[in-house]
């Protein structure tokens, strides 16, 4: 039995999300599509386990996953088969044999999500599936200030639609950065790093920060939503189309540098990047 670790990139616009809830919805989920393709490669039922369960309409730049099989495979055979049989909106970009103990979900150290905003006066038709269009001016300085109050380990009950008495609502949010795409003036990213995220947590944080940017919410009020706050007190859930799972980080993985995006300085003048 071999364990294969995958890196997967996908456009989630036409899918119900990552998780296959049953055989009948396999064709409408990322997991279902992958398992069907790898069944034809391995000749046996395959379970593909991802680092997390992205929601309907959410995209991934580098989703991590693994599967186990008794078939004799190589990285080249996996990549070639995936490229040939997967639909154009799903791609396996890396495959490597991993230690038998590797688990894509349970061994995640942290996850990084990006949320894309289209801040142009008119919506860009080429961004309509990949960004939330916000035409009015946003106070990015206030948004960055508000985000700082969310950092650390807290009960994020106010920032999730999850309803469970068994699961913990406590997560450690490590950073929230607002960054501008240097190649496209109208595109702004909100990047969030945490040890894990609750259902819809990123989208609700973004929706709440947008209220701050629109001056509909005080920049110093977000701390009051933590550790016992109510979902009804936080902002709206941002549209799924702007959300991307950038990558999952595992123990021993190298950290990427800040990258090409220019961070919005909290001490700069509002609107200046």
pLDDT in tens, the chain (273 residues): 999 999 999 999 999 999 987 766 667 999 999 999 999 999 999 999 999 999 999 999 999 999 999 999 999 999 999 999 999 999 999 999 999 999 999 999 999 999 999 999 999 999 999 999 999 999 999 999 999 999 999 999 999 998 777 788 999 999 999 999 988 989 999 999 999 999 999 999 999 999 999 999 999 999 999 988 899 999 999 999 999 999 999 987 544 444 445 555 444 333 333
Q: Is 118 a catalytic residue?
A: no
Catalytic member of 55, 99, 118, 149: 55
* Secondary structure (3-state) at 221: coil
For the record, the structure tokens of 251 come out as 């123990």
For the record, the structure tokens of 4 come out as 């294969």
The structural domains of the chain, ordered by start, are 2-98 (3.30.70.580), 109-263 (3.30.70.660)
CA within 13 Å, CB half, 207: 18
pLDDT at 222: 95
Write out the DSSP string of 77-136: HHHHHHHHHS-TTEEEEEEEEE-TT--TTTTEEEEEEEEEEE-SSS--GGGTTT-EE--S
How far apart (Å, rounded) are the C-alpha atoms in residues 273 and 271? 6
Task: Give the residue from 11, 156, 6, 24 showing the smallest Cα distance to 67.
Answer: 6
Q: Which residue has the tokens 């941002």?
A: 238
pTM: 0.90
Give the CA distances from residue 139 to residues 4, 50, 262, in Å, rounded to whole numbers and listed in that order: 45, 36, 16
Q: Which residues, other chains included, contact 42 with Cβ-Cβ below 8 Å and sequence gap of 6+?
A: 69, 70, 71, 73
User: CB–CB of 176/261 below 8 Å?
Assistant: no
pLDDT at 240: 97
How far apart (Å, rounded) are the C-alpha atoms in residues 39 and 41? 5
Bridge partner residues of 111 (DSSP): 194, 248
User: CB–CB of 136/174 below 8 Å?
Assistant: no
pLDDT at 259: 46
pLDDT at 255: 44
């Amino acid at each position: 039995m071999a364990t294969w670790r995958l890196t997967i990139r996908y456009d989630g616009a036409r899918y119900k999300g990552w998780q296959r809830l049953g055989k009948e919805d396999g064709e409408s989920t990322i997991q279902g599509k992958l398992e069907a393709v790898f069944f034809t490669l391995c000749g046996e039922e395959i379970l593909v386990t991802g680092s997390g369960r992205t929601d309907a309409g959410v995209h991934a730049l580098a989703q991590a996953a693994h599967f186990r099989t008794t078939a004799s495979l190589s990285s080249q055979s996996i990549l070639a088969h995936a490229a040939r049989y997967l639909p154009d909106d799903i791609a396996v970009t890396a495959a490597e044999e991993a230690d038998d103990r590797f688990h894509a979900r349970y061994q995640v150290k942290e996850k990084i999500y990006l949320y894309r905003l289209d801040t142009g006066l008119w919506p860009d038709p080429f961004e309509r599936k990949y960004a939330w269009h916000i035409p009015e001016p946003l106070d990015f300085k206030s948004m960055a200030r508000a985000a700082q109050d969310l950092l650390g380990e807290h009960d994020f009950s106010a920032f999730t639609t999850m309803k469970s008495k068994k699961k913990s609502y406590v997560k450690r949010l490590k950073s929230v950065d607002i960054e501008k795409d240097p190649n496209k003036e109208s595109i702004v990213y909100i990047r969030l790093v945490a040890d894990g995220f609750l259902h819809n947590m990123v989208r609700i944080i973004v929706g709440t920060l947008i209220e701050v940017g629109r001056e509909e919410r005080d920049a110093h009020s977000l701390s009051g939503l933590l550790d016992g706050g109510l979902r009804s007190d936080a902002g709206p859930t941002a549209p799924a189309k702007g959300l991307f799972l950038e990558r999952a980080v595992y123990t021993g993985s190298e950290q990427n540098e800040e990258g090409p995006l220019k961070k919005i300085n909290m001490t700069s003048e509002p609107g200046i990047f």
